[in-house]
Structure 1
């Protein structure tokens, strides 16, 4: 199986509202029908060629089997309910997420029409033996704040919990929170998909001058090559998936 190629774009925005993308049934490019709804029920987000693809997955009520792939998939459920079984049963509710590590196959069942966002990146050999459900209630430990030279406000207190780290160290999934801070624009050498759990965050794209504010419940992605500031004035927490090429 090869990496799916997203539809080409002349220029990509720094940040994309993925709930809005998933809500538009005509947005993106359909994946070729291979007879398996877990694969072909997707539309690819237009983005520059690279190691990461993002797709909206829409499943009708039903069930099927997802074969193992050489990729790591991070999946956020937007609506519906998924029952997964890779030898152990897992239930995914809306606004929760999970990782399908490379080499893992599983059975799935959608109780109702279901919509999800899938971030796919290169996988590799991993010690992970099954699906990984992101545990947003897991204890978080102190983590590094933004670099002092980009902070425009006092240094915040940040905490993190990592649920999945690929064998290469390039792909990381977990949950994070922070006290308020504002930092100047930085260059993104990585891709980051987020689901805000608490608070709201304002971004400004230093390249185009466009801005956006995302609030609790929103799902969005910052693309590699972006140059964005970050500002939040209250407590903020999120689920995240970061792919940082070596």
Structure 2
């Protein structure tokens, strides 16, 4: 059983979980979620096929291999958001593994695919709250790529200078792929996990962990943060 109080190493999990190559819609391994508001899955597509439109925005990230949606091709380390209402033809090379984050979208923006560009120009963004920090406040930059599902679902590119943060509970599900740098987390049980450039991982709602980065970190992120009642 997966320990959802720790960061999940998605590449390692995709290589060890019971997942068999097949159709994009059915070759899937569901990760535990806090509720039915979001679906988090590993996908093992192979060959080619067609996916009908669904009433959900879906963030797809290529953990290994190559995956194409119509005229958008994603290699390992690349991701895109597929808008609700988008039907597409797909193809995948042998050994392709995807991470998928899916959230129902009632206010559809129209069919299409939003690709995340790691080279995009970023702008200064708000740092973590001062009460969470241990030491200096980092300089942060970001380039949001989308925000949808009543503002609950968003993603893009983010970077920060070195900083340390206290243990705080996550009120969102967050996918991260490190483009640059290294970060260590310590969870409530005292376990330390370290991720480096090229690693993809997931921290789910309810987990509590610290953050320590001793160098500049740059990442792709995908977040589902439900609206508080």
Q: Quick check: TM above 0.5? A: yes
Please identify runs of 4+ aligned residues in structure 1 that moved more than 6 A. none
Choose which of 172, 186, 211 in structure 2 pairs with 1:230: 211
Q: Which 10-residue stretch deviates more, 72-81 or 107-116? A: 107-116
Question: What is the aligned partner in structure 1 of residue 151 from structure 2?
Answer: 169
Post-superposition CA distance 1:202-244 (Å, at most 9, x none): 11112x2222111111111111011111110001000000111
Post-superposition CA distance 1:184-207 (Å, at most 9, x none): 01121111011111111111112x
1:76-115 map, 5 Å = 76-85=61-70, 89-115=71-97
**In 1, Cα distance between equivalents of 2:31 and 2:96:** 18
1:205-220 map, 5 Å = 205-206=187-188, 208-220=189-201
Q: Is the 8 A contact 1:124 1:166 kept in 2?
A: no
| 1:71 Cα deviation from its structure 2 partner | 1.7
Q: Summarize the Cα distance change of 1:146–1:13 in structure 2 as closer, same or farther, 3 Å threshold.
A: same
**In 1, Cα distance between equivalents of 2:215 and 2:123:** 19
**In 1, Cα distance between equivalents of 2:59 and 2:92:** 17
Q: Which runs of 5+ in 2 are unaligned?
A: none
Q: Summarize the Cα distance change of 1:11–1:47 in structure 2 as closer, same or farther, 3 Å threshold.
A: farther
Instruction: Look up the SS of the partner of 2:25 in the other structure.
Output: helix
Is 1:193 matched up with 2:143?
no
Instruction: Look up the SS of the partner of 1:40 in the other structure.
Output: coil
Q: Summarize the Cα distance change of 1:245–1:91 in structure 2 as closer, same or farther, 3 Å threshold.
A: same
Question: What is the aligned partner in structure 2 of residue 26 from structure 1?
Answer: 18
Post-superposition CA distance 1:39-97 (Å, at most 9, x none): 1011112344442222111122x211111112221111022212221xxx211111000
Q: Is the 8 A contact 1:14 1:225 kept in 2?
A: no
Alignment length (residue pairs):
226
Question: In angstroms, what is the RMSD of aligned CA positions?
Answer: 1.9
